[in-house]
A and B are shown apart, each in its own frame.
Chain A
């Protein structure tokens, strides 16, 4: 179709002439697809309004009975207007604006919207009765797979594609003084008053524009709308978020707002910490329960008014209007102005009501309680309001039922000081009364926010002395009364109809549930799933409560409501997940490793080289020549002060008083339950200066652990703790030729065994880089130097080692080779060879633990462990068949019982056989004992306990040279 043809055709048979408050842009026309067919729309149309303008009445099929459904509310709550848009399911089509080339499809229809085979289910009563989940799909169990297939056919949501590209979801924090939920007349007035009182204001509305019900009102309402909108636009203290919903209110006014109308962002989750929270959601119009109340063509008065006034869509040709309030009367006037033939106005205030709507795919006639039957294709109902108290409930409120106005009202006495309500959720009134209430609430919200701001200011001890604290008016703002107008109680007519349109639950189902004994509204909800659909009770709850009250013979107040929980509106998982802020850590040498083809290993946040192609060859290089490994992630804490030895004595199980300057000692830390927490070496660099190393994974934990003990138990000790893990790049140079290699680059350090022996530390210059720390330790069991280099020079020193050692056969080695080397040497790894139950004696640390120290962390439990005896023990193990490497965590069994497990296992390149560490029960922890290891494939193999943990060089001769 050409633009010209489109312009001639117009956007549909039901499109009206220009309406004063219309939000569509008639100058432009766009096309989109509806179930594959081309449709026209104006920018500003919602998907539903464009389809309604084209004369469509059926938008979807209902969940259980597959009944045709059309427009009910014409807003985001509309249960019949959930459609598939492209690969996005469950789009609220009476809220989402049409965009050019959108591919819109109806959901829940097979084979087509018009001919739905499953509509036959309407005839199969037993299958889908109240509690049908519980009754139908229980027995026999062997049919469960069949049931699953049946249920799959009935899934009423849209479809998602696993190939859908991941879109961008955003996150933002906001700290307004006042957050206003709801941009109708009350919310706008509150925002203006609060901003004029000096508060920063965030004003949020679910619609595409501010104004609430003013938007679809008459000339007077539109006049007020334009005035308020202009004033808000001119007020710099107000930020407005439209097409955004306040989803939940949590402790201390932590409020989740989901914002949708941003370019290039699907949704943004705004995390708001509001000092004052003003709840002004207005009212939700309540459907009426009667036979045929779900037929396309039955709609709420607010729906008819939205269609006519916002979108210039004629809702039908011939109407019956059931009205019990001024808004319903307003709908009559709108319909007449729109040229709809209003066949009858049924005034419920005088006792007449609708008993039934008849028709197949839409209303054809309406039956009244006075016996009349009127032909009509449109039935508009205006029978009362639901107060959406959800956000108030989340704030601790318990709304109370007011029979005079036939609705629930917030109980202001139960609201915290930081939450206020205004607008029609509180009461009814003229526009000026509502605006005055809103303004008073806005001023009071600003006053309370100022009080909180002043209190926060004085709670910060670091504030500038003498800084003035803002003055807060002491006198609360006087809030005018706002009382709900009297309204007849209208919930169910004389017949049964749908209470929950999303879940296909009828008033008859609720009666059945009560008759079956589910007489509490919370039980009825779970049994029938009433109020559990996408609307989460916003349309359904009050009718459900009223029907349960009727069925049980109780009052509505006695029946009470179900609980409103977050979120107020459906929120996507993408919005909750948002962007991911997980940092990735690299050593300064990582780029070099990658260039050399290192296989990356993810270790917590760190990416490290696992190996460079052949870990066994890397092991042989270290045993025969010299290798270098990047150990930057090793935790490093700089400790300074006179009380460091006291601290070390407390943290470690061994003694630290007599560690001389230049010496290094190995230590193990336990928790207060005696379980091994971490290990590492600490060296004394100066009189009051120490450097502690921790495991890589324990770097953060140990730092906080040390601070905890210093700050809470020993605040009198003088120790400064500075984490320096990433201030240094750390390189371990290991192998018989490591002394030769380091000697070529070190200046000012005498590397001779006499001057720099095993377990010593020196500082000096390496490859021209001053202030390096070298310690002579041996995790690999070889002569080795661990060099800590100021991080910026890490790559330089690494490359210097590689080139200086070329003739020595130097090669880099990765974590895997290091793990093999240490296993050959029998060094345990905390968290690998120990677990959350492994106390120090079990880890084989008996000779390290010094129970004669006055105190250390875990001492009582370790004292008792030693006294108790009989604990499991970490031992070296070698399978008798040295070709078999049992998987780590393989069980060790005896007499049908698990008596231990393999904690580490590898093929040893040095010994040419498999080697293990394992924990076994005390009786088996004897050198030469043969235990049974159960392999993953179920085979049992024998393995012998070795004399020591070390499989290679148990005397330690290689590392002490």
Chain B
């Protein structure tokens, strides 16, 4: 079981977390085409390499956070979610 570093709690067993999948920006609901929306809903790029993901520390601080994780080595680094959300606006 891998160790995952929660930006709030530090390194913890990955069983304390729920994997939220690859995180992609939510398309504008009033402007998205069905193709764009379903791409957001159902498709993941599943890269061999760095992947941007959401995790939820359900058995800890109960924070959702975004990380970049290398899918081959599990190396990972935190992303500031608030700044990322602002950058998307």
Interface residues of A (CB under 8 A from B): 250-252, 254, 273, 456, 459-462, 672-673, 704, 707-708, 711-713, 715, 854-855, 859-861, 864
Contact = CB atoms under 8 A, between A and B. Distances in A.
Among all A-B residue pairs, the 8 with the closest Cβ atoms = A460-B10, A251-B2, A252-B3, A711-B64, A254-B1, A459-B10, A715-B82, A860-B37
Q: Which of A673, A707, A712 has the most CB of B within 10 A?
A: A712
A46 B10 CA distance: 47
A808 B81 CA distance: 58
B85 interface: yes
A251 B34 contact: no
Given A672-B26, A708-B56, A713-B26, 9 more contacts: A252-B74, A254-B1, A456-B10, A459-B5, A461-B8, A711-B63, A711-B64, A715-B85, A854-B30
Contacts of A860: 29, 32, 34, 37
Contacts of A254: 1-3, 13
B9 interface: yes
26 contacts: A252-B1, A252-B2, A254-B1, A254-B3, A254-B13, A273-B13, A459-B10, A460-B10, A462-B8, A462-B9, A673-B41, A704-B56, A704-B62, A707-B62, A707-B64, A708-B64, A711-B63, A711-B64, A712-B64, A712-B66, A713-B85, A715-B81, A854-B30, A855-B29, A855-B30, A860-B34
Contacts of B13: 254, 273
A755 B10 CA distance: 53
A712 B63 CA distance: 9
Interface of B: 1-3, 5, 7-11, 13, 18, 20, 23, 26, 29-30, 32, 34, 37, 40-41, 54, 56, 58, 62-64, 66, 74, 81-82, 85
A253 to B, nearest CB: 9
Given A456-B11, A708-B56, A715-B85, A251 B29 contact: no
Contacts of A461: 7-8, 10
Contacts of A251: 1-3, 74
Contacts of B20: 708
Nearest to A460: B10
A859 B10 contact: no
B5 to A, nearest CB: 5
B12 to A, nearest CB: 10
A424 B30 CA distance: 68
Contacts of B85: 712-713, 715
Contacts of A460: 9-10
A853 B56 CA distance: 29
Nearest to B14: A251
Contacts of A711: 63-64, 81
Contacts of B54: 712
A254 B30 CA distance: 47
Contacts of B29: 855, 859-860
A712 B30 contact: no
A864 B40 CA distance: 16
B28 to A, nearest CB: 8
B70 to A, nearest CB: 13
Contacts of B62: 704, 707
A713 B27 CA distance: 11
Contacts of A250: 1
Contacts of A462: 8-10
Given A251-B74, A860-B29, A860-B32, A704 B10 contact: no
A574 B82 CA distance: 46
Contacts of A273: 3, 13
Nearest to B88: A713
A861 B33 CA distance: 10
A59 to B, nearest CB: 39
A861 B37 contact: yes
A672 B64 contact: no
A954 to B, nearest CB: 34
A704 B66 CA distance: 16
Given A252-B2, A462-B8, A707-B62, A672 B41 contact: yes
Contacts of A855: 29-30
Contacts of B11: 456, 459
A715 B81 CA distance: 9
Contacts of A456: 10-11
Nearest to B84: A712
A836 B50 CA distance: 32
A704 B57 CA distance: 10
A509 B54 CA distance: 52
A672 B1 CA distance: 31
A715 B85 CA distance: 8
A251 B76 CA distance: 14
A735 B1 CA distance: 54
Contacts of A252: 1-3, 74
A318 to B, nearest CB: 54
Contacts of A673: 41
A887 B18 CA distance: 37
Given A251-B74, A254-B1, A459-B11, A712 B81 contact: yes
A673 B37 CA distance: 9
A713 B41 CA distance: 15
A859 B2 CA distance: 37
Nearest to A703: B62
Contacts of B5: 459
B10 to A, nearest CB: 3
